[in-house]
């Protein structure tokens, strides 16, 4: 068995596997064979006779990871070592030694949903998931409802602090009355049980003599306290992790325990795994440029794979051009033999995927959305469910909205009933209106986290699509149109769309990182130094998911969004090769710029379109004043942007632009064509 344990290991991995006693800290870089190393080390602890299999507890963060560890150990002939999550082992111990019942609340939403629904406007629409995450943050830091306000510091809750504190208190009271405990309670009670019950503590420490903790960079204070109870003053503890991939600080996780391990155990054996088996040298060079500002323990990844194409950096005139470029490049890669499932597009939040979903559907490209496709996310489901109650209900929504906003009332004469119903229904489920367009702003950044930003973006997109819907099928027609625009996931097959957080632990042959823009990555809600650092680690995780092809892109204009002229992310300057930056004006991207991409982020590529768009907006303002309707009733910003891009010369070409129905064609075609003719370059 010993020969199988060491078969195929590199020198670094072998050193880690040989360390079967005492404190061990394995600093495992991305793609360095972490799981192989840690499972071989456990197998060697058994094969060498250092410990019996049943004396070893391996701790993972998910049931899937725990099963994978147990399976690999068993294949090596070392059956019997226990691999569990913190929560699974805590529950087993609590049930074995406590006289109190251990009924676990499966989801905080079960209690929180009705509490949130009774909050005052607009906070009743804050996603329950954001509220649950905030409570987890507090409990993982052992912060009670009474100490919540004092403990906040720079931390920002998803709603005003006093409101959040009251909600937290109500949640705790209801949970306790029901005789339930959540997962954080479980860890805290298990730790307290071991502290106060010598019999239980003695039994646990007699059972387990050696411990291994995977993904140690993601441990939170509650988990660390429980681990400390298990280990005591003994030294046979092996921790494995990468502080450069610590991206769950919003839950209370911190890499400080991993970074400080050698200080707590001065005689520990530290092993760095830096040989990367996943990515090409070119991709690793890109990731390594982030290392100087990542902090923590310096680790420079070394490539073991052969050379590949240089990462592509592409600036695009507009967001729609960026999406079309991604679709085109993905098609090219698939034609070259890369399966769709090996191509991934990563976004910072869920609410950025719908443009790509629509483009992929139109191009008949199969895709899957790991975090929930556009029409399956909460905003779309809530709005469509409200509309599907029937047209009378939709009309009631219109009436209520019309009585409270003059804009909607004035729009009645010029906007379809369906569009007005969708807009009113969106406001009824918490849409804040056109001014935010789903992006956090100075007025709204404190009112919800990433889930709320996603929800606002999704609602804004649905309203926009309703305004541009060219058909006359009313609500049923609009719903059918959505189904055609956003094809459902093809049974888990196709190009993968997911967030950076969900991509952790995965790998793909090709990775696209779009929207590399300021306020996007780093995200607008990230303000403190530590929050910016975690955003940089997110980018590091995204880059190191790619095996051979890496594409980074951004847009210089996003018509229809609040940030209409975004700036490239400051991270781009950190990772882009110096020669490419110096010669960008001459050479464009690191390789020839693809179709639709602009050569350099500093170039004023949108000047011509920008001038035309300004002329179109000036015309729209005059026409809206003449018709006594809001400007968006004439044309939405996104439609004007498409007109400026496509520059139709005839009424027939004008009719082919999305959002132009027969009524608008008849009403505005001649005037628009005149504006375009007057703005044509001489």
Does a structural domain hold residue 586? yes
Give 30's contacts (C-beta < 8 A, 6+ positions apart): 242, 244, 245, 276, 278, 279, 287, 301, 540, 541, 544
Lowest pLDDT segment from 238-247, 286-295, 624-633 = 624-633
Closest by alpha carbon to 325, among 353, 359, 370? 359
Residue with the bigger pLDDT between 253 and 405: it is 253
Q: The tokens 């670094």 sit on which residue?
A: 12
180, 208, 234 - which closes a domain:
180
Beta bridge partners of 237: 211
Q: The tokens 């403990």 sit on which residue?
A: 151
Average pLDDT of the residues in 504-525: 93
pLDDT tens-place string over residues 632-680: 678 877 788 888 888 888 888 888 786 677 778 888 888 898 888 876 5
Q: What is the pLDDT of residue 604?
A: 35
Does a structural domain hold residue 295? no
Q: How would you classify the pairing of strands 312-316 and 597-598? A: antiparallel
CATH number reported for the structural domain that contains residue 94 in this entry: 3.40.50.300
Average pLDDT of the residues in 339-351: 91
Q: What is the pLDDT of residue 468?
A: 72
Report the sign of the C-alpha dihedral through residues 30, 36, 39, 42, in that order: negative
Q: What is the pLDDT of residue 378?
A: 76
Is the pLDDT at 36 greater than 70? The verdict is yes
Lowest pLDDT segment from 198-212, 407-421, 592-606 = 592-606
pLDDT tens-place string over residues 262-279: 999 999 999 999 999 999
Is the pLDDT at 453 greater than 50? The verdict is yes
Is the pLDDT at 189 greater than 80? The verdict is yes
pLDDT tens-place string over residues 275-314: 999 999 999 999 999 998 988 888 899 999 999 999 999 9
The CA distance from 181 to 90, in Å, is: 13
Residue with the bigger pLDDT between 630 and 517: it is 517
Q: What is the pLDDT of residue 372?
A: 64
Together in a domain, 92 and 195: yes
Q: What is the pLDDT of residue 658?
A: 67
Beta bridge partners of 346: 498
Of the chain, the percentage scoring pLDDT greater than 70 comes to 84
Q: What is the pLDDT of residue 461?
A: 76
Of the chain, the percentage scoring pLDDT greater than 90 comes to 51
Residue with the bigger pLDDT between 623 and 213: it is 213
Together in a domain, 382 and 252: no
Helix (H), strand (E) at residue 280:
none
Does a structural domain hold residue 292? no
Residue with the bigger pLDDT between 399 and 661: it is 661
Q: Are 681 and 608 in contact (CB under 8 A)?
A: yes
Does a structural domain hold residue 580? yes
Does a structural domain hold residue 285? no
Residue with the bigger pLDDT between 390 and 216: it is 216
Domain count for the chain, please give it.
5
Is the pLDDT at 407 greater than 90? The verdict is no
Average pLDDT of the residues in 85-108: 91
Together in a domain, 472 and 426: yes
Together in a domain, 314 and 336: yes
Q: What is the pLDDT of residue 443?
A: 35
Q: Are 342 and 508 in contact (CB under 8 A)?
A: yes
Together in a domain, 88 and 116: no
Does a structural domain hold residue 297? no
Is the pLDDT at 71 greater than 80? The verdict is yes
230, 257, 273 - which closes a domain:
273
As a whole number, the mean pLDDT across the chain is: 83
Is the pLDDT at 412 greater than 60? The verdict is no
Does a structural domain hold residue 565? yes
Is the pLDDT at 243 greater than 90? The verdict is yes
Q: What is the pLDDT of residue 591?
A: 44
* Domain housing 142: 109-180
Together in a domain, 123 and 16: no
Is the pLDDT at 601 greater than 50? The verdict is no
Q: Are 512 and 326 in contact (CB under 8 A)?
A: yes
Q: What is the pLDDT of residue 624?
A: 79
pLDDT tens-place string over residues 574-595: 998 865 443 443 333 444 344 4
Lowest pLDDT segment from 334-343, 498-507, 559-568 = 559-568
User: Confidence class of residue 114 from pLDDT cuts 50, 70 and 90?
Assistant: very high
Q: What is the pLDDT of residue 659?
A: 64
Angstrom CA distances, 357 to 221, 467, 493, 602, stand at: 39, 19, 14, 29
User: Confidence class of residue 417 from pLDDT cuts 50, 70 and 90?
Assistant: low
User: Confidence class of residue 384 from pLDDT cuts 50, 70 and 90?
Assistant: confident
Helix (H), strand (E) at residue 272:
strand 269-273
Is the pLDDT at 536 greater than 90? The verdict is yes
Together in a domain, 136 and 38: no
Q: What is the pLDDT of residue 209?
A: 96
Which span out of 84-88, 100-104, 421-425, 659-663 was modeled with the highest average pLDDT?
84-88
Average pLDDT of the residues in 493-504: 90
Helix (H, G, I), strand (E, B) or coil at 647: coil
Residue with the bigger pLDDT between 358 and 500: it is 500
Together in a domain, 81 and 203: yes
180, 204, 234 - which closes a domain:
180
Helix (H, G, I), strand (E, B) or coil at 546: strand
The CA distance from 314 to 554, in Å, is: 7
CB-based burial label for 179 (10 Å; 0-12, 13-18, 19+): exposed
Q: What is the pLDDT of residue 600?
A: 39
Q: What is the pLDDT of residue 473?
A: 65
Together in a domain, 81 and 201: yes
Residue with the bigger pLDDT between 390 and 206: it is 206
Together in a domain, 525 and 443: no
Largest CA distance in the chain: 90
pTM listed for this prediction: 0.73
Together in a domain, 521 and 561: yes
Q: Are 595 and 328 in contact (CB under 8 A)?
A: yes
User: Confidence class of residue 236 from pLDDT cuts 50, 70 and 90?
Assistant: very high
Which span out of 126-135, 423-432, 575-584, 611-620 was modeled with the highest average pLDDT?
126-135
Does a structural domain hold residue 402? yes
Q: How would you classify the pairing of strands 82-85 and 24-28? A: unpaired
Together in a domain, 520 and 569: yes
Q: What is the pLDDT of residue 393?
A: 43
């Amino acid at each position: 068995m010993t020969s199988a344990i060491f078969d195929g290991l590199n020198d670094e991995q072998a050193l880690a596997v040989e360390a079967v006693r005492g404190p061990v800290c394995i600093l495992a870089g991305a793609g360095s064979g972490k799981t192989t190393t840690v499972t071989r080390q456990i197998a060697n602890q058994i094969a060498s006779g250092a410990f019996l299999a049943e004396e070893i507890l391996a701790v993972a963060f998910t049931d899937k990871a725990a099963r994978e560890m147990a399976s690999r150990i068993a294949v090596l002939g070392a059956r019997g070592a226990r691999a569990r999550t913190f929560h699974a082992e805590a529950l087993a111990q609590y049930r074995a030694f406590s006289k109190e019942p251990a009924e676990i609340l499966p989801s905080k939403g079960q209690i929180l949903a009705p509490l949130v629904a009774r909050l005052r406007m607009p906070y009743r629409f804050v996603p329950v998931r954001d509220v649950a995450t905030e409570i987890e943050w507090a409990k993982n830091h052992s912060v009670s409802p009474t100490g919540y306000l004092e403990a906040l510091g720079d931390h920002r809750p998803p709603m005003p602090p006093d409101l959040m504190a009251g909600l937290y208190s109500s949640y705790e009271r209801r949970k306790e009355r029901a005789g339930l405990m959540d997962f954080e309670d479980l860890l805290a009670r298990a730790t307290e049980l071991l502290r106060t019950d010598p019999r239980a503590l003695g039994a646990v420490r007699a059972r387990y003599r050696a411990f291994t903790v995977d993904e140690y960079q993601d441990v939170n204070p509650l988990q660390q306290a429980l681990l400390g109870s298990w280990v005591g003053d003994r030294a046979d503890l092996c921790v494995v992790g990468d502080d450069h991939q610590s991206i769950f600080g919003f839950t209370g996780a911190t890499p400080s325990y991993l970074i400080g391990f050698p200080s707590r155990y001065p005689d520990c054996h530290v092993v760095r795994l830096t040989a990367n088996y996943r990515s090409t040298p070119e991709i690793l060079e890109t990731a390594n440029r982030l290392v100087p500002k990542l902090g923590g323990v310096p680790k420079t990844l070394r490539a073991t794979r052969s050379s590949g194409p240089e990462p592509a950096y592409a600036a695009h005139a507009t967001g729609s051009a960026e999406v079309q470029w991604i679709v085109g490049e993905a098609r090219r890669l698939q034609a070259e033999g890369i399966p769709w499932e090996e191509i991934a597009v990563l976004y910072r939040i869920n609410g950025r995927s719908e443009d790509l979903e629509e483009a992929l559907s139109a191009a008949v490209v199969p895709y899957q959305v790991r975090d929930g496709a556009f029409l399956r996310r909460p905003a779309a489901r809530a709005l469509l469910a409200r509309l599907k109650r029937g047209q009378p209900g939709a009309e009631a929504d219109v009436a209520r909205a019309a009585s409270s906003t003059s804009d909607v009332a004035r729009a009645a004469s010029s906007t379809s009933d369906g569009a007005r119903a969708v807009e009113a229904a969106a406001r009824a489920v918490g849409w804040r209106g056109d001014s935010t367009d789903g992006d956090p702003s100075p007025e709204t950044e404190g009112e919800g986290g990433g889930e709320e930003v996603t929800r606002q973006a999704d609602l804004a997109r649905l309203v926009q699509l309703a305004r541009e819907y060219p058909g006359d099928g009313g609500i049923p027609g609009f719903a059918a149109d959505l189904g055609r625009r956003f094809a459902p996931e093809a049974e888990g097959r196709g190009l993968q769309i997911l967030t950076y957080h969900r991509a952790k632990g995965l790998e793909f042959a090709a990775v696209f990182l779009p929207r590399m823009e300021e306020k996007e990555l780093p995200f607008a809600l990230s303000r403190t130094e530590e929050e910016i650092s975690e955003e940089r680690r997110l980018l590091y995780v995204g880059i190191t998911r790619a095996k051979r092809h890496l594409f980074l892109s951004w847009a210089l204009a996003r018509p229809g969004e609040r940030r209409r002229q975004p700036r490239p992310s400051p991270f781009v300057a950190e990772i882009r090769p110096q020669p490419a930056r110096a010669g960008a004006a001459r050479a464009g991207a690191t390789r020839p710029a693809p179709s639709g991409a602009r050569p350099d982020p500093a170039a004023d590529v949108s000047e011509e379109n920008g001038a035309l768009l300004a002329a179109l907006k000036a015309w729209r303002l005059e026409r809206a004043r003449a018709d006594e309707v809001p400007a968006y009733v004439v044309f939405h910003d996104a439609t004007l942007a498409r007109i400026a891009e496509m520059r139709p010369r005839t009424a027939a070409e004008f009719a082919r632009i999305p959002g132009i129905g027969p009524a608008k064609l008849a009403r505005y075609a001649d005037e628009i064509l005149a504006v375009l003719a007057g703005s044509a370059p001489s």
